Structure 1
Amino acid sequence: MGNCIQKTNRVVLGFDHSSGNVSQKFSRGQKKDNNYEKGNLAEWQKQKGFGNVKKTMNPPQTPSVSGCLENSHPKSHPLPTPNPISNTCHRGHKKQPSFLPLPKPEAPPSKHEESSSIGTLQPAEPSLSLYSSSFSCILPMPMSESEILSSPYLKAFSLDELRKATANFCENSLLGEGGFGCVYKGWLDVETLTAARPGSGMPVAIKKLIHSGFQGHNEWLSEVNYLGRLRHQNLVKLFGYCLDGEDRILVYEFMPGGSLEKHLFKRNSPSLSWARRIKVAVGAARGLCFLHESKSPVIYRDFKTSNILLDTEFNAKLSDFGLAKAGPTTEAQTHVTTRVMGTEGYCDPRYLTTGKLSVKCDVYSFGVVLLELLTGRRAIDETKCEEEKNLVNWVRLHVLDNGKVFRIMDTKLEGQYCKKSAYVAANIALRCVNHEQKYRPPMTYILEILENLPSNKNLNIY
């Protein structure tokens, strides 16, 4: 059985790690510090600005790059020093990453603030408004398909109801289409969720899978499972489903802003401001934090710009949970082994070659999307020259080799962005896409950094 790595308009068969078949692997220097080499830790720390450190501390395993010091913070997650061998560039040279300093968050979030930003992981209370976005919760994992379909959050729609809600799936109701099928705009009564006359009631997005599409019954059921159990302000709401013969339909809340992909890459689309780009990144990070930090972690596995939907205020919500997978449930487990599936350019290279899936695979994908927000370029762009086709490699070339972040910034921004914030965002994005999973920060760390980016009001703007 092959693996599915989705490209723009086609699916590529990959490697099934359970079969043992051979897979295809996808895809400068610093002066020594004498004090460090001589073991004079106190003097080395003084030079580097660490201040007073207890002598019982173990010395760093590799010399720190000048200007690479992080401020300590009780909520921050300390990261290992990246292995220089894991960061290679096109030119054949190996270079120690010159990471930029990250700012110290203004104040540790209170328990109340922390729970509101990531999501309250508490038993569901169906007596609350089932379709409200003001609360977050996770229902217990169902054991069978019948349990999945009996979620108290979801309504089982009839095919006739959805025909009426979309004027019989007419072309005028069509919002978009892809390899999975078509998405239509429909209308439901706000109180009863029954079909309403087009233009009245509440707008919804109705995804109708085609029988021969990329998304089969298992992926459809995965969406019903996860979106039927999970409720969070940064996850798109699923109102219900329809299972009628071979028809598989999902009914979501309508997101009038469309996808992030449309705003970044659609020709003649108005450019996103710097503030809105960061707002989208923060919202998407909160969604991933909610999934990763739950008692039973969920690995999203298909984080990309087309799956990030926006409302009128540019609040981001994650959609399309067809590839979502339950993560490790014990501390002893670091990953789950599974058939490789995802989208080219966003997939963690280590996952592609080993089939080992962990939350750090989502972190890699987040780093790619953050680079897309900074640069305005696609993860994979076949129209570019060979050196620029892969976004991650191109950014590494400019930032790690030259340290010139301004050269990668989206020209549509016309220089209207915070210089220091751009440096910090580029730094955290490159940490996310490190080849070694252990050097990638957790989403809680990433969210904390993004929420505390320096204000444009206090810094010079390009």
Structure 2
Amino acid sequence: MDMKELIKFDVRGNDLNGRIPDSIDQLLNLQYFRVLIGNKFESPLPAEISNLTKLEYLLVSDLNGGGFEFPDFSKMNSLKYLTLRKCLLTGPIPDTIWKLNTLYYLDLSFNRLFGEIPKDVSSRLPEYIFLRGNELNGTIPAWIMNSTRHIDVSENLFTNNVTEIKNSNSSNLNLFSCLKSDEMATHWEQVGYSCSKKEHLLDHLYINCGGESMPINGTNYEGDLTSNGSSTFFMSSSSSWGFSSMGTYLLSRPWIDTYIINNTCIAGVDDGPLYSTARVSPISLKYYGFCLRNDKYTVKLHFAELVSNDYKAPYIKKSGRVFDVDIQGKNVLENYNIEQKAEGVNKAWTEEIKNVIVNNSKLEIHLYWSGKGSSEVPTDHYGPLISAISVYPSIESGMSPPKMAAISLSALLLLIVLIVYFWKMEDKSHEGVVELYPGGFYNFRKLKAAAKNFKDKLGEGGFGTFYEATLGNGTVVAVEKVSATKDIIRAFREKDSTISLMEHPNLVKLIGCIAEKNQLLLVYEDIGRNSLQNALFGSNRSKLDWATRRNICLGIAEGLAFLHECKQKIVHGNIKPTSIFLDEHRNAKISDFGFSRLHDQGKSRLEGTVVYMAPEYAKYDLLTTKADAYNFGVLVLIVVSGMKEKISMSSSGVDTEYLPDVAAREKHREGHFMNLVDRSMSNTVDWEQADTMLELAMLCLDQYPDQRPTMTQVVKVLKEELELKDLKERLKQLTSGRYRPEPYGEISTAEDTTWHTKSATTSRGGVTDTQISASPSTSRSV
């Protein structure tokens, strides 16, 4: 067969990868092109695809790699169905898209699109327009607000009036979380989806998806009977939960436009009525909890692969439904098949996910169809399906509150006695301090045995070596072995209880510490085996594309912003590639926070960290949040350039073979700034983002601390919630008119800490410096 005569090309739902070939434009008669749905192809789409002028269906989703801009679709006048979902598209939506008069269905959701939607569109508009999960800005035009079409513009950054959004009552228009948040409010809070009073917060959530309210085993499940689902946001009557649904059954029979499925024939469970209904969505279904207390929760997802009673034929005994589930943005179920788990259709199955962290009272459960599995008979309603949701605290007890209080008090008293006892034991001998960990009591010797005598090395951290250990209950942890003085160990132990309570997706969770003699063991959650240092420069280094490197920098920035804004206002002081670890999804996790400043006491300023040190810290021992901003700037240059810092010592001082900030300033001055970008990832780089990141890094490297941005401002720029030029103007206004006799003569930070010079001088490392001290009202955070 001559491939040029091919009309339909469909290999969706496989694991095909690599680039789609440029020679695709030879298929000039192609009308149906679904090749990329449910596969693992790499971006970008070949530009030659625009030559397929007879194409009616172009369905592409879930590309890997780096961002790219729209192909030219100006000649594709036959196009009726266009899906470019989760394809890493960036830039504005081209005007040519709005001029395709034949277009009936448009799905550009979950990309990185920005810019405004045209206020006037003269051509015939698509019946379905899905733009969810982008960064579109400006105002939502009137033709959308007044439309009767199915339109989803949720999760964007528009600037419409809040009242206008609230007053919209179209059942087919999804505006949830569509507004750019201000300095104080989140996207959700800005349109009223929040619990303003603490007494309204709940510690549970029970939803009967697609069904009526009903009691099950003494628990009342709230009803969820809304029939809409193509582009819908629904808020429960209690305002404690809602759902956002998007999609239509494009690949199935078009008259099947139902978002609730019923079947009373559920086998083998006492709570069968809970599984007799389900909510289904062709693409994306997100359930939100709005009023949960901040805590760790167990989330139970109740499933049953329902087959309609209307079908009696034998072949309707199988399904083929496959979808993914994310909770709080983290994937927990991939390529999930209910029928396989439950071993049949119309059978109940429950997935339990423990220790889900809820911050700011918000919970998000996202069920998403990437294109895998069946999309036609017998499935009919393809896409994610769920029967019920149960959410409750991870630690539950059947005891009464008085008994629980009594036991808690007894345990607290026992713990205090043990701490006092072992603290005294530490002063008398060096046999170690026993600490309470998950899995039992551990001392130095027992933890050393759990770490197999420190043989299973994970990597080098910022201050010591990490080893893997397995506790008695099977919990895998990471143990950092650090050499430290007894005074430093004692000082760290005073902070241990505070630091160990801190949790953030970009911080390595510190469980606690054990000390013996001058040896400190820091016990962390399981961190894997990949530090940023190893990923960039190790013998088994990974090939990090642009999107991954940018995400790593964003994660580090968010972690630092959290440390700076928390109640304890922790300053890290030593951010560098060895103190950053990457999880299995290559998300950044910061280690050693709260310990850096203590460990540096009494040590040479040139001991391996001078490259990252802010000048005021290296010269004057002044550690503020702006020193972390300087660290971050250096780290960004290393991540973007892929060049490792090198320092060699000579009798005359520090001989710099490569200092990232020096190299960056030189290239910036010469007009070759973008030459810093690692060429190994040139095919994936978003050059506009790269330019912003490098300019942001240079702001962080300013010699004056008060000219550097806060890490919160850095996060906003990286998330494109704050323009870089606006940030520069803010910093300029903040510091305008200030007198600076020399750098560090007057230093103000985000916490309004002011440092003043004294006339006396001191010698440190052979260099005479002006002494600097804090005003009496200033507090310094570690």
Please tell me the residue identity of whatever aligns with 1:111: A
Secondary structure at the residue paired with 1:299? coil
Secondary structure at the residue paired with 2:541? coil
For 1:158 and 1:395, how far apart are their aligned partners in 2? 48
Q: Is the 8 A contact 1:211 1:246 kept in 2?
A: yes
2:482 to 205, 209, 214: 209
For 2:565, the equivalent position in structure 1 comes to 293
Secondary structure at the residue paired with 1:423? helix
For 2:633, the equivalent position in structure 1 comes to 367
Q: Is the 8 A contact 1:239 1:251 kept in 2?
A: yes
What is the Cα-based RMSD across aligned positions, in Å? 4.4
1:277 to 549, 552, 558: 549
Q: Is the 8 A contact 2:555 2:589 kept in 1?
A: yes
Q: Is the 8 A contact 2:532 2:578 kept in 1?
A: yes
Please tell me the residue identity of whatever aligns with 2:181: P
For 1:134, the equivalent position in structure 2 comes to 357
Q: Is the 8 A contact 1:174 1:183 kept in 2?
A: yes
Secondary structure at the residue paired with 1:134? strand
Displacement of 1:361 in angstroms is 0.6
Aligned residues: 312
For 1:418, the equivalent position in structure 2 comes to 686
Note if 1:392 corresponds to 2:661. yes
Note if 1:186 corresponds to 2:469. yes
For 2:327, the equivalent position in structure 1 comes to none
Q: Is the 8 A contact 1:236 1:319 kept in 2?
A: yes
Please tell me the residue identity of whatever aligns with 1:318: I
Displacement of 1:208 in angstroms is 2.8
Counterparts of 1:206-355 in structure 2 under 5 Å?
206-210=479-483, 216-218=488-490, 220-221=492-493, 224-244=496-516, 247-321=519-593, 323-324=595-596, 343-355=609-621
Report the TM-score, using the length of structure 1 for normalisation.
0.57
Displacement of 1:389 in angstroms is 1.9
Please tell me the residue identity of whatever aligns with 1:424: T
For 2:643 and 2:558, how far apart are their aligned partners in 1? 23
Q: Per-residue displacement from partner, 1:85-109 (whole Å, max 9, x unpaired)?
A: xxxxxxxxxxxxxxxxxxxx98236
Q: Is the 8 A contact 1:226 1:321 kept in 2?
A: no
Specify the structure having the higher radius of gyration (Cα). Answer: 2
For 1:106 and 1:373, how far apart are their aligned partners in 2? 32
1:108 to 154, 158, 181: 181
For 1:429 and 1:255, how far apart are their aligned partners in 2? 27
For 2:580 and 2:615, how far apart are their aligned partners in 1? 22
Note if 1:439 corresponds to 2:696. no
Q: Per-residue displacement from partner, 1:231-279 (whole Å, max 9, x unpaired)?
A: 2221111223323555532211122252111111224512211011011
For 2:576 and 2:586, how far apart are their aligned partners in 1? 16
Q: Which has the higher contact order (CA 8 A, sep 6+)?
A: 1
Q: Is the 8 A contact 1:348 1:365 kept in 2?
A: yes
Q: Per-residue displacement from partner, 1:49-69 (whole Å, max 9, x unpaired)?
A: xxxxxxxxxxxxxxxxxxxxx
For 2:491 and 2:461, how far apart are their aligned partners in 1? 15
Closer/same/farther in 2, CA of residues 452 and 156 from structure 1, 3 Å limit: farther
For 1:422 and 1:263, how far apart are their aligned partners in 2? 20
For 1:114 and 1:352, how far apart are their aligned partners in 2? 43
Secondary structure at the residue paired with 1:235? coil
Closer/same/farther in 2, CA of residues 129 and 157 from structure 1, 3 Å limit: farther
Please tell me the residue identity of whatever aligns with 1:394: A
Please tell me the residue identity of whatever aligns with 2:703: H
Q: Is the 8 A contact 1:347 1:364 kept in 2?
A: yes
Displacement of 1:357 in angstroms is 2.1
For 1:402, the equivalent position in structure 2 comes to 670
Secondary structure at the residue paired with 1:275? helix
Counterparts of 1:38-49 in structure 2 under 5 Å?
none
For 1:94, the equivalent position in structure 2 comes to none
For 1:223 and 1:277, how far apart are their aligned partners in 2? 32
For 1:405 and 1:223, how far apart are their aligned partners in 2? 42
Secondary structure at the residue paired with 1:416? coil
Please tell me the residue identity of whatever aligns with 1:187: T
For 1:143, the equivalent position in structure 2 comes to none
Q: Is the 8 A contact 2:294 2:357 kept in 1?
A: no
Secondary structure at the residue paired with 2:677? coil
Q: Per-residue displacement from partner, 1:350-378 (whole Å, max 9, x unpaired)?
A: 22223322111110000000111111112
For 2:644, the equivalent position in structure 1 comes to 378
Secondary structure at the residue paired with 2:524? strand
Q: Is the 8 A contact 1:301 1:325 kept in 2?
A: yes
Give 5+ residue unaligned stretches, structure 2.
Answer: 1-136, 139-156, 158-177, 190-197, 199-292, 299-353, 361-418, 424-432, 650-654, 723-782
* Greater helix content: 1
For 1:58, the equivalent position in structure 2 comes to none
Q: Is the 8 A contact 1:156 1:241 kept in 2?
A: no
For 2:698 and 2:450, how far apart are their aligned partners in 1? 45
Secondary structure at the residue paired with 2:585? coil
For 1:232 and 1:151, how far apart are their aligned partners in 2? 23
Secondary structure at the residue paired with 1:270? coil
Give 5+ residue unaligned stretches, structure 1.
Answer: 1-70, 76-104, 116-121, 138-145, 189-194, 327-336, 455-462
For 2:179 and 2:596, how far apart are their aligned partners in 1? 34
For 1:157, the equivalent position in structure 2 comes to 442
For 2:667 and 2:633, how far apart are their aligned partners in 1? 16
Displacement of 1:205 in angstroms is 0.8
Q: Is the 8 A contact 1:310 1:317 kept in 2?
A: yes
For 2:617 and 2:581, how far apart are their aligned partners in 1? 25
Q: Is the 8 A contact 1:134 1:233 kept in 2?
A: no
* Greater strand content: 2
Q: Per-residue displacement from partner, 1:367-412 (whole Å, max 9, x unpaired)?
A: 00011111111244559xx78622101111112x133333111122
Q: Is the 8 A contact 1:284 1:318 kept in 2?
A: yes
Secondary structure at the residue paired with 1:207? strand
For 1:425 and 1:316, how far apart are their aligned partners in 2? 17
Report the TM-score, using the length of structure 2 for normalisation.
0.35
Q: Is the 8 A contact 2:636 2:697 kept in 1?
A: yes
For 1:304 and 1:445, how far apart are their aligned partners in 2? 20
Q: Is the 8 A contact 1:338 1:356 kept in 2?
A: no
Closer/same/farther in 2, CA of residues 296 and 185 from structure 1, 3 Å limit: closer
Secondary structure at the residue paired with 2:674? helix
Q: Is the 8 A contact 2:647 2:656 kept in 1?
A: no
For 2:297 and 2:442, how far apart are their aligned partners in 1? 19
Closer/same/farther in 2, CA of residues 274 and 381 from structure 1, 3 Å limit: farther
For 2:710 and 2:618, how far apart are their aligned partners in 1? 20
For 1:453 and 1:262, how far apart are their aligned partners in 2? 31
Secondary structure at the residue paired with 1:269? coil
